[in-house]
Amino acid sequence: MMPADAFTVKQFTADSLYESLSNDCFSASQVRKHRQANYLAGYLQELQVLTVVVEHDYTDGDYLDDYAAYYVKCFNQYQRRCKRLHFFTEAFSSPSLRAVINGESSSELDEDTLRATYRGFAVARPLPDAIIGRTVLCTYDETRKDGARRFYPATKKYEANLFGIRLGVPKSLAFQEQDTVLAACATVALWSSFHMAAKLFHTPMPTPAAITRSANQLVRSQRPIPSRGLVVQQMCSAIQRVSLEPEVIQIRSSTPVSSVLYAYLGIGIPVILGVKIEGEKSMHAVTVVGYSLHDDRVHQREEAGEQANLAMLGLRIGAFYVHDDQMGPFARAVVTASEEYDGTTYPISLEGPWKDKATGKLRKMYPCVAILPVYTKIRVTFVDVQKWVSRIDTVLGVCALGHASSEWDIRLTTTNDYKKNVRADGSPAVRSSGVLLEQHPRFLWRTLFETNGSLIYEMLIDATDMARSFPVYKIIWHDNEARGVARNLICEAKLKSVLVSCLTEPFYKMLCDSCAVR
């Protein structure tokens, strides 16, 4: 027989959630004032959750490692087991769930209904403050809304087992609240990022305690436990410990931040973004997992300063969705224009999800550094790609191929995903080019040039090559008229030296071949 107290079924309300998250060290009235718990309540309401199943006496691997590393040695006797809260959009009772678990018939509920209405889980840790542990929830609906569509490329499938019933969340990324004893914000940001990296690159998924230990092995500015946070060098060390390479992008006024984040999110890499928060002294780390893409541009530029960069897809991104351990999963950060803060000019700012306690106004976040855990064979960076794209954009801009609405779509991808997209897009130009039958590097940059919504041409760049070599290996034309205009320019013998000087000799020859110039 199943113990009577193995689980509890509750109708979902904010109060029932607070009660379910509480423990002997942190009462429901304290949970009610807890920022992450309030965010979670609002998020679950948006998901239209109706029922909470509280799984008692649950052993969570991440918390257990934290417990063994620190809490078991405390004088105060902290509990080693947690509660796990499961969320459903179907209303049902405890007897109905018990009948399904026992394999008995129930007119109210069955396993298929449980699976179809499952929206994820949250682990409630038995701690005096950092109560929200490993949390996996469905994303918001990706359908178009207010002229934009949400995308969550840095997500994966998770499974859960509720007393023998297999449940799943098709798209999510694990989140948890920072525990300042063992995991500050940078550690939690790395932890979430490693969950996705494990799917992409088959690397380990260390616990927060293990990340903190590995980050402090080479560079130690303070005692590792209790943790007060990690510096960039320590974060890089933790990334290398899971056999990945840290790609560090120092964000300057000329950095096209939105396009950079989009380019790496394209392959599914969550970007760890170091930000300054308005009114806060220390830097904060969030994990970028998605974005909102508009049909039309919502920004005039995505960098500051006199010289504008390429017109890229980032101009159509209105917001990013971030895992913020001080707020919650998939928190919305609206992209706003460049501005100066505390003596520094930032290319963009992000509004929210932090609020000023006195006024209730959203506080801005200013991006300072982006850290990406990438596979060792991904050697050519976004900055390298941008330089090559700028060369051909300058040359073909002379042909009037450009337009006020022209944009570059630059994204990192894999050869398998590239061919899958080519087959799905159904472009005759790409299919006739033979790319589906050709060998490609495992990782590549796909750069597409569009004008008025029409694809003109694209370049494929070998992401596994060296930055100082010539990594562009294919140019494909989608518009024959534009191809003819480019051919006429290249045929001008008196311009050859100028074109070679701008493009380099290998690039010029490749452009000639793509235009069928002999």
For residue 65, is pLDDT > 50?
A: yes
For residue 1, is pLDDT > 60?
A: no
Q: How far apart, in whole angstroms, are the C-alpha atoms of residue 464 and residue 24? A: 53
Q: Do 121 and 55 share a structural domain? A: yes
Kindly indicate the confidence band of residue 305, based on its pLDDT and cuts at 50, 70 and 90.
low
Given this model, what pLDDT does residue 146 score?
Answer: 67
Mean pLDDT score of the chain: 88
Instruction: Give domain status of residue 230, yes or no.
Output: no
Instruction: Give domain status of residue 221, yes or no.
Output: no
| CATH code at position 263 | 3.90.70
Q: Among 19, 177, 29, 129, which Cα is nearest to 83's? A: 19
CA atoms within 13 A on the CB side of 162: 26
For residue 4, is pLDDT > 70?
A: no
Given this model, what pLDDT does residue 400 score?
Answer: 59
- Label residues 389-417 b or e (16+ Cβ within 10 Å = b): bebbbebbeeeebbeeebbbbbbbbbbeb
Given 340, 374, 408, the domain boundary residue is: 374
Instruction: Count the Cβ atoms, other than its own, within 10 Å of residue 112.
Output: 8
Kindly indicate the confidence band of residue 350, based on its pLDDT and cuts at 50, 70 and 90.
very high
Q: How far apart, in whole angstroms, are the C-alpha atoms of residue 137 and residue 118? A: 9
Give the mean pLDDT of 73-98: 90
Q: Do 400 and 306 share a structural domain? A: no
Q: Do 446 and 345 share a structural domain? A: no
Given 315, 343, 374, the domain boundary residue is: 374
For residue 437, is pLDDT > 70?
A: yes
pTM of the model: 0.91
Q: Do 389 and 316 share a structural domain? A: no
Kindly indicate the confidence band of residue 267, based on its pLDDT and cuts at 50, 70 and 90.
very high
- Residue 16 sits in which domain range? 7-141+158-163
Q: Do 476 and 391 share a structural domain? A: yes
Given this model, what pLDDT does residue 489 score?
Answer: 86
Instruction: Give domain status of residue 412, yes or no.
Output: yes
Given this model, what pLDDT does residue 226 score?
Answer: 41
For residue 171, is pLDDT > 60?
A: yes
Instruction: Give domain status of residue 36, yes or no.
Output: yes
CA atoms within 13 A on the CB side of 440: 24
Give the chain's domain count.
3
Instruction: Count the Cβ atoms, other than its own, within 10 Å of residue 58.
Output: 17
Q: Do 107 and 12 share a structural domain? A: yes
For residue 223, is pLDDT > 50?
A: no
Given this model, what pLDDT does residue 182 score?
Answer: 46
Q: Do 434 and 332 share a structural domain? A: no
Give the mean pLDDT of 90-113: 90
Instruction: Give domain status of residue 241, yes or no.
Output: no
Q: How far apart, in whole angstroms, are the C-alpha atoms of residue 446 and residue 418? A: 8
Q: How far apart, in whole angstroms, are the C-alpha atoms of residue 28 and residue 332? A: 27
Give the mean pLDDT of 399-403: 63
Q: What's the residue count for the chain?
A: 518
Those residues with Cβ within 8 angstroms of residue 335's Cβ, 6 or more apart along the chain or in another chain: 258, 298, 299, 317, 318, 319, 320, 348, 349, 350, 351
Q: Do 333 and 266 share a structural domain? A: yes
Q: Range with the lowest mean pLDDT among 50-54, 105-109, 131-135?
A: 105-109
Instruction: Give domain status of residue 237, yes or no.
Output: no
Give the mean pLDDT of 87-104: 94
Q: Among 371, 395, 403, 359, which Cα is nearest to 475's? A: 395
Q: Do 388 and 348 share a structural domain? A: no
Q: For 210-243, give the DSSP string.
A: HHHHHHTTT--SS-SSS-----HHHHHHHHHTTT
User: Do the beta carbons of residue 446 and residue 458 sit within 8 Å?
Assistant: yes
Instruction: Give domain status of residue 217, yes or no.
Output: no
Q: Do 386 and 315 share a structural domain? A: no
Given 163, 195, 218, the domain boundary residue is: 163
Hey, what are 233's tokens?
Answer: 């060098």
Share of the chain above pLDDT 90, in %: 60
Give the mean pLDDT of 78-87: 92
Q: Do 358 and 481 share a structural domain? A: no
Q: How far apart, in whole angstroms, are the C-alpha atoms of residue 64 and residue 79? A: 10
Given this model, what pLDDT does residue 434 score?
Answer: 82
User: Do the beta carbons of residue 243 and residue 203 sit within 8 Å?
Assistant: yes
Give the mean pLDDT of 453-478: 92
Q: Do 431 and 500 share a structural domain? A: yes
Instruction: Give domain status of residue 184, yes or no.
Output: no
Given this model, what pLDDT does residue 183 score?
Answer: 47
Q: For 390-456, give the DSSP string.
A: HHHHHHHHTTT---TT-EEEEEEEEHHHHHHHHHHHT-HHHHHTTTTTS---SEEEEEEEEETTEEE
For residue 219, is pLDDT > 60?
A: no
Q: How far apart, in whole angstroms, are the C-alpha atoms of residue 179 and residue 84? A: 18
Give the mean pLDDT of 6-19: 96
Q: 281: exposed, middle or buried (C-beta count within 10 Å: 0-12, 13-18, 19+)?
A: exposed
Kindly indicate the confidence band of residue 181, based on its pLDDT and cuts at 50, 70 and 90.
very low
